[in-house]
Each structure stands twice: as C-alpha cells, then as structure tokens.
Amino acid sequence: MDKRYRLRIKDKFSAAHSLRNYEGSCENVHGHNFGVEIEVYGYSLEKDTEILIDFKVLKRKLKNILMDLDHKFLNELDFFRVNNPSSENIAKFIFFKLKETLPQNISLSYVMVSESDNSQAFYEEV
C-alpha cells in the first residue's frame, strides 16, 4: 500500500473581473474577495526535519502568486487577455504558477478558488 503526506493551506485576494461571452450581470465589471486553497502531496519527508515542506515556505510561494492578482482588474493581465477570468481559469492560473515553484518531490493536488462560501472552482491534473 502506497502512503503519502498531504498539506493544505489557504489564502485570499481581492480582485475585479468581467466575464466575456457571458449573458448576465457577471459580464459587467465586479469584484470578489476570492478564497484560495491548495493541496500538495509527497511520498517522503525531508530526512533532517521530517516534514514534507515548511508551511511558511509553501505559504510564501502562494502569496507571491496572489500578489500578482491582488487588487487588480484581472482582464488586463496577459493570461486573462486570452483566457476568460472565470474562477475555473483563475484556479488554473494559480495551479501552473505554483507548480513551477515546487521541489521535484512535491506534487500539487489541486487549487480551489472560491467567490463565496457556496461557490468554488477546482483545477487539478488527473
């Protein structure tokens, strides 16, 4: 039986966006206080510390990505000029940016972006 270790962290950012090709109020510029949750996993711990990755390090990696989104109009960012700034695509954006920063022995399970407590979008590779 394989065993793995999983870590989850949460953060948030505020941003505005408008959805293209959408019929409804979300086509207008509006903002959210987005919640973000990520989960990473690995199969072995560091020998000296017996941790997968320091929570502080993981939080800093996520915070660095969210700083590029915080208090921005997402439609003006390069990625969202091509991709509609939906919660699904925001999760995808964070996923690929974060994945680039992780050590080889750590994998990213998913990124979840929430517009509210009742509305969440996930991006994961399966």
Q: Under 8 Å CB-to-CB from 83, ≥6 apart: which residues?
A: 89, 92, 93
Residue 26 is a catalytic residue: yes
Among candidate residues 26, 76, 124, 125, the one labeled active-site is: 26
Cα torsion angle, 79, 28, 72, 91, sign: negative
Q: Considering all CA atoms of the chain, what is the largest pairwise distance in Å, rounded to the nearest integer? A: 55
Task: Please pick, among 17, 32, 37, 115, the residue that the annotation labels catalytic.
Answer: 115
**Active site annotation includes 115:** yes
Choose, from 30, 46, 71, 124, the residue flagged as catalytic. 71
Catalytic positions are: 26, 71, 115
